[in-house]
Structure 1
């Protein structure tokens, strides 16, 4: 399309898409106004944007355009102090950026900006208010001090004149007034009888602003000093301008670099302010929008649409948002093209790269040029053909506007197919089904319908892909208070067949909507199942790792116990042998105890009344005490059994009526409540004692008797050390004289 030489085409397009407000808001974040386009490699811009997003920095101050300064310097011109200070502000901002901690693509770009020493010297000469710093030019500082004193003397003289007794009747107020940078007195008429002075101006009330003649000498002195200062500053600024002239390439480079950075920083701060996201154009021609809202809408309903095909045909209810959907898709492509932040979910969205965006939205009728609506549309379409007009995104609102719908449908079918051959992407809105019917066989066509709420008789401003929408012209007429009899008569004229066709289209849309909703529900369920599956997979992997770690720890501790036993076997002293064996036994007992507790805590959650079984018995849990359970066996016997030895019994067999006494069962299993260790070697004695205590615990004994004899005392010592470390031994003591005395131990379990 031809562009207006006065108005940039991007602005014309933005106006058509209702994006002028967006661009105005964005411009407030720029240090100086400029078009939104960023020249260069888009991917490079995105990379720098991403690295810049992670840095906290202050936006640049407002800086005037400096291109005319460069032109002036090229002609050996002279820059004023205020002009040079604009450059100083620009330099200082880049020096500030260089002090920040930054990485990535932005740091690489920033490191390429290297300041000449003479430029840095100029920057150091200016204060924050744009004046020369004191101490740089002593002669200038001296004249400024003299000027300041002269102004103070003049002000004192004014105050003396202000407080003259004879002048008081003529004073309007007791203030000093600045008129054309001169301090004056505000006096009534007749003041010249007591004061000679020069009238500078008159107030709205008819009073006079007067400079007393007595100050003329001081005024002249001040003017002379100011001329000296101006002459000195002219010499200084001439030298500075001459220095700048030597660095014109650098000045041009730094000015362009500032414009580039200004574009990036404005986008970042604008995105953070609006909570928008960046989406760079992709190399495909897909347009997938997720939760996009047009920036011009208040409280918009976000849209999600998959426009992967070449042509999108939007049909449906009047005033249902078809045009705004068209503008939204074009707007998203427009903003992505200029790397401007968008109100959407960028991670789930994709926007292709298009050479140009064309919006045919307005009625092109022009009385002056004798162009009708349809003729204007034809003129617009004719400009879209040509070898250069490829890879465009074209949006057309009410494509059949201005002529017979059936004829236009046939014509536009051919036009659209020709445009598609040039690899263009097209979005259309229409109320006529004829074009949809003609294009329906084209695999590149995607249908979308604006939905209508029949219950409330109003559009829903939501859309459904894959179907043709009904226009609801009659319903819309009723909604806007057209008499019902008129609408009814129109329905008759419209014809029953076409009305039925409309109903079929409507039912199809409803079925599509139901199918879409069920598909969403199914996708949500699949997502939940996949998530649970992933969690279970992670849990299994973690348990596998924990199991491996546990095995490793057990093997390590077992090897430690074995090494201690081997070391003890090599000892020559009996006491050292006993001590080594005891240490090894402690490790083994601790491992056994920890393993039992871990199994109980992790795997066995038993309840009273549950049916259980061991290797030899089956029964029911009567009570749980610590890590043991009181189990009533099928024979009627009650036993204390460790929880780790129990398994669930799914099939419950009827209890036997035969009952056996607890005492007989215990004796049969344990062989008594006493153990004689006389004559055994130390390792045999410990093995027998360990087995005896285990059987006694299973049998439910609370107290047993162990004979070890007196002898040399070694067996007695080993027995006592073992009993101290056994986890199930509550206490032990020497037996009474009649039961063995010091040669036996009573052990409480």
Structure 2
């Protein structure tokens, strides 16, 4: 149940339906939009939502779905039913086009069996009835014209017409050439008068050619004659044309009779095409609104995450503005939101967003909110929005509100969503406030769900002390006195009446008098709310900053842990290699000594040979000593470039510089890469790259990390500073791993975020090229980053 009857106009659903209708290909689809129903059955609603979601996947990720010739054949199906009725060539052709579209759609889904289960339910009873198309194709060709061979009689008539026309033209051409030779012809060629081919003859020679005069020129100088020799032939052609028309009518009557048994099948095809058109339109609008399929609950709950009012979002998008997303929860413990805050702060937009998204969802449409949102099913939506005073019904604004409150109380239940804007207004606040509080208490007792906006302090206090109710407010910049359009749960908001009046320029004397009349208690409460809101905003900003710092800290800790693990593994490996090398050196030295002793003995202690053996032994020992004592020395302090070896700050670890960018260096340490500031690095000499084994190990490591690395960044919805921070982290990681390409999704919008991101990326010397995605898969809403 929806109340009042114009709730669609109040919430903006009528405008959403108008947008949806514009995406329909056929009048049947538009009629389906007009007949959209409020659905309270969980199974039916779930199926319709999944069908729309699957069609959105088709439009975005799959081959094009058949989208031509969605024609309305309902009048044709009614025309088939009477006896001896027949369809014209054009009507049969329309029928053929619709059949081809339906059969293409059926084949499309059959080829993707199991991929779109909800849509398959729509097609499960649809079969391709080839006989219908075969009957039509024997009569109508691909251009929508009757086939000359549709019957044997028609084929003969076509041949006779062709033969007669050919003979007529031949005789006419002969007479025309003779007339030209005799000089009887006026300026011009053969022409047509009253559907007959005639010769333009000078008036003074009209007796020279026997025939029928069809017309004359305005001056009377030229007459148009059909020669007698051709007249009978042309009459024969006309008689054949009449005969052809009669035969075509007979063929069409016969064809219509053959199609009559398939009327029910044709009606089912028409219904299938209507459903497809309707679902396709919902999917297209979902793409435009960036709408998602939230988790559907059978309970009357609402957990919206980053929800947006679709009409407001489209309007702001066209003007290049952002819409602050809405996140709120309505559930058993917090059933009714009592929303307060300044005028023009977004309270009514918040309320209408809740109502409109719920109405869209329960009409089978996807909603512009995060896919992590959860939305339940309500049996009734009751709204009191705007001024419904009526001169005809003798209702004032307040009387109209009271009439609705009476309806709300009589209709409300646990599965009712109540939306009341500016609750209690329209009469003396001294009486309107208590009456509104009493109505709210009754609605809460009936466990309704809803959103209520108000400026009344008694309702804010009542919500703060009553289970089931929860205060909420729209944040306001108390310094700049500008609305932030950001919803905060758990506390009421100030109306900022005096502050806004002061900003507008109301005289200070008037403001002072107003504050005195408001009373100390009310002023203190309002001041307290303003201070709480200011502190809440500061805490919120600090929390976001701490969250960013915590994310950075977690990343550094993770990198440090990986670095330590790498150092430990390399230390053991280096020790093992050093021991093996030492054993090899000792073994070689022992062999050298033994060989030297053997040579001395064999030479009989000859002095020259003994001296030569000692010299070789000394040279080899000196070389070993020099290799053992060789130490890295600090290189002269100069610019660090790729290929230099450097020592990391605070450790003895050394690595090779892979690349330098924006004051940072990417350093390879064995199998690991890290990033450090250039000013913190110390250039060293004597270090060499690892052996082939370590390079192979690094290749395996790099392949492993590349497999885990996410080459795609989705920055849609982020502010510029936040998007660049995320992009910087991704670029650092990409440069460390040496990836070849990144995919950055930033959306189209008005192009501000895209321009900011591309300007930032162009500053990296490692970036070789930036290019757009293919237009069918996102176009300039996605940027591919290619590295050199």
TM-score (norm 1): 0.62
2:16 corresponds to: 22
The question of whether the paired residues in 2 share the 8 Å contact of 1:318 and 1:476 is answered with no
Where in structure 1 are there 5+ consecutive unaligned residues? 200-205, 544-597, 606-626, 629-641, 647-689, 711-732
> Are 2:570 and 1:602 aligned?
yes
The question of whether the paired residues in 2 share the 8 Å contact of 1:310 and 1:424 is answered with yes
| Alignment partners' CA distance in 1, 2:184 and 2:486 | 84
Superposition pairs for residues 337-736 of structure 1, below 5 Å? 337-346=362-371, 348-386=372-410, 391-480=415-504, 482=506, 485-521=509-545, 602-603=570-571, 644=578, 695=586, 701=589, 704-706=592-594
Match of 2:145 among 131, 136, 143: 131
Question: Alpha-carbon deviations, 1:45-74, whole Å to 9, x = none?
Answer: 344445442432234225343444444444
Q: How many angstroms does 1:513 deviate by?
A: 2.5
Match of 2:273 among 258, 267, 284: 258
> Are 2:112 and 1:102 aligned?
yes
| Alignment partners' CA distance in 2, 1:175 and 1:469 | 90
Superposition pairs for residues 260-299 of structure 1, below 5 Å? 260-279=275-294, 281-297=296-312, 298=316, 299=321
Change (3 A) 1:466 1:225: farther
1:724 corresponds to: none
Q: Does the residue aligned with 1:706 lie in a helix, a strand or coil?
A: helix
| Alignment partners' CA distance in 2, 1:177 and 1:338 | 61
| Alignment partners' CA distance in 2, 1:250 and 1:409 | 63
Change (3 A) 1:708 1:601: farther
Superposition pairs for residues 196-235 of structure 1, below 5 Å? 214=226, 224=239, 227-235=242-250
Change (3 A) 1:410 1:490: closer
2:327 corresponds to: 305
| Alignment partners' CA distance in 2, 1:211 and 1:339 | 72
| Alignment partners' CA distance in 2, 1:276 and 1:704 | 81
| Alignment partners' CA distance in 1, 2:583 and 2:549 | 58
Question: Alpha-carbon deviations, 1:292-346, whole Å to 9, x = none?
Answer: 2222221342323122231111111111121111111212212222232333322
Q: Does the residue aligned with 1:234 lie in a helix, a strand or coil?
A: helix
1:42 corresponds to: 45
Q: How many angstroms does 1:691 deviate by?
A: 10
Q: How many angstroms does 1:102 deviate by?
A: 1.0
Question: Alpha-carbon deviations, 1:77-115, whole Å to 9, x = none?
Answer: 544443343332232122213433313214464353113
Change (3 A) 1:468 1:288: same
Question: Alpha-carbon deviations, 1:618-656, whole Å to 9, x = none?
Answer: xxxxxxxxx79xxxxxxxxxxxxx87469xxxxxxxxxx
Tell which structure's C-alpha radius of gyration is larger.
1
Q: How many angstroms does 1:429 deviate by?
A: 1.2
| Alignment partners' CA distance in 2, 1:144 and 1:425 | 75
The total of aligned residue pairs comes to 562
Question: Alpha-carbon deviations, 1:155-208, whole Å to 9, x = none?
Answer: x999x99x999977xx9xx99999xx98999xxxx9xx9997679xxxxxx99x
Q: Does the residue aligned with 1:428 lie in a helix, a strand or coil?
A: strand
Q: How many angstroms does 1:378 deviate by?
A: 1.9
More divergent stretch after superposition (439-448 vs 77-86):
77-86
| Alignment partners' CA distance in 2, 1:286 and 1:364 | 29
Match of 1:58 among 61, 65, 73: 65
| Alignment partners' CA distance in 1, 2:272 and 2:328 | 38
Q: How many angstroms does 1:370 deviate by?
A: 0.3
Question: Alpha-carbon deviations, 1:372-415, whole Å to 9, x = none?
Answer: 11111122233334468662322111121212234233333333
| Alignment partners' CA distance in 2, 1:249 and 1:109 | 17
| Alignment partners' CA distance in 1, 2:190 and 2:528 | 87
Change (3 A) 1:734 1:452: farther
1:322 corresponds to: 347
Where in structure 2 are there 5+ consecutive unaligned residues? 625-788
The question of whether the paired residues in 2 share the 8 Å contact of 1:144 and 1:229 is answered with yes
> Are 2:135 and 1:113 aligned?
no
Q: Does the residue aligned with 2:297 lie in a helix, a strand or coil?
A: coil
1:620 corresponds to: none
Q: How many angstroms does 1:603 deviate by?
A: 2.7
Q: How many angstroms does 1:350 deviate by?
A: 1.7
Q: How many angstroms does 1:354 deviate by?
A: 1.9
| Alignment partners' CA distance in 2, 1:20 and 1:218 | 65
The question of whether the paired residues in 1 share the 8 Å contact of 2:324 and 2:485 is answered with no
Question: Alpha-carbon deviations, 1:665-724, whole Å to 9, x = none?
Answer: xxxxxxxxxxxxxxxxxxxxxxxxx99856467xxx5972336999xxxxxxxxxxxxxx
Q: Does the residue aligned with 1:95 lie in a helix, a strand or coil?
A: helix
Change (3 A) 1:273 1:361: closer
Q: How many angstroms does 1:739 deviate by?
A: 7.8
The question of whether the paired residues in 1 share the 8 Å contact of 2:49 and 2:365 is answered with no
| Alignment partners' CA distance in 2, 1:450 and 1:485 | 29
Change (3 A) 1:63 1:486: same
Match of 2:95 among 70, 87, 93: 87
Change (3 A) 1:166 1:343: farther
The question of whether the paired residues in 1 share the 8 Å contact of 2:388 and 2:400 is answered with yes
